Structure 1
Amino acid sequence: MIAAALTFAFACFGIGMLFCMWRLTVGPDSADRILALDTMVINVIALLVLYGIKQGTAIYFEASMLVAMVGFVSTVAYCRFVMRGDIIE
């Protein structure tokens, strides 16, 4: 039963990634693109956690924490670049 649930979750998050990629390419302004990138980071974190559950190892949970930290910093940096034109003052 858990295998079917994992397969369904992988499919749902994969479809979510495709929608985010579509919004990233078609987005009318940069705020939509930033939101799509941030949502893609969240989907990657979810996929890593699901893969860790499937494999039964804890290394993927640590990798998801690293992706979360890098995703947060990159989102903040990209927002500052769009708002101010530079990242470091």
Structure 2
Amino acid sequence: MTPGDFLALCLNVGFGLIMLSLVLAFVRLAKGPSFSDRVVALDMMSVSIVAFCALYAIKTGVSSFVDIAIVVALIGFLATVALARFAERGIHRNRHLSDISPADVVATQTKGAQRADQGDKS
């Protein structure tokens, strides 16, 4: 086996594994079950696309695919950070709402109803 044949074999195996990772990440993206699972799946897909671009650049010898890989990596990273911040804000918002007990909600509604009744009497 010559070094060229070995490189071709490694590239083909690499392409196959990257395609498998893209399929599995897409399944995780579709099934979920949570928002954070979908964010991780999108990040995995962007990493797989970067790896695909890098392997394709090696196979064809066209260096512009390396530039594409860098841009995709940057966009994927920024998207992951933005979605993580979005998910974190949602968690804090839900945590804030869960700090209110049902008794507090009933007491607030009762006070509001009493004020409305007092306003009608005057």
Equivalent position SS for 1:57? coil
Structure exhibiting the larger radius of gyration computed from Cα positions: 2
- The correspondence of residues 33-72 of structure 1 with structure 2, limited to 5 A, is 33-72=38-77
- Shift of residue 80, structure 1, vs aligned partner: 1.4
Between 1 and 2, higher relative CO (CA 8 Å, sep ≥ 6) is seen in: 1
Q: 1:74 aligns with which of 76, 79, 86?
A: 79
Q: 5, 11, 35: which one pairs with 2:10?
A: 5
Q: Is 1:29 matched with 2:34?
A: yes
Structure 1 length as normaliser, TM-score? 0.90
Structure 1 runs of 4+ aligned residues shifted over 6 Å read none
The root-mean-square deviation of aligned C-alpha atoms, in Å, is 1.0
What is the count of residue pairs matched by the alignment?
Answer: 85
Task: Tell me the distance in 2 between the aligned counterparts of 1:73 and 1:79.
Answer: 10
Deviation at 1:79, TM superposition (A): 1.3
Listed as ranges, the gaps of 5+ residues in structure 2 are 91-122
Aligned-pair CA distance for 1:18: 0.1
Deviation of the 1:82 alpha carbon: 1.9
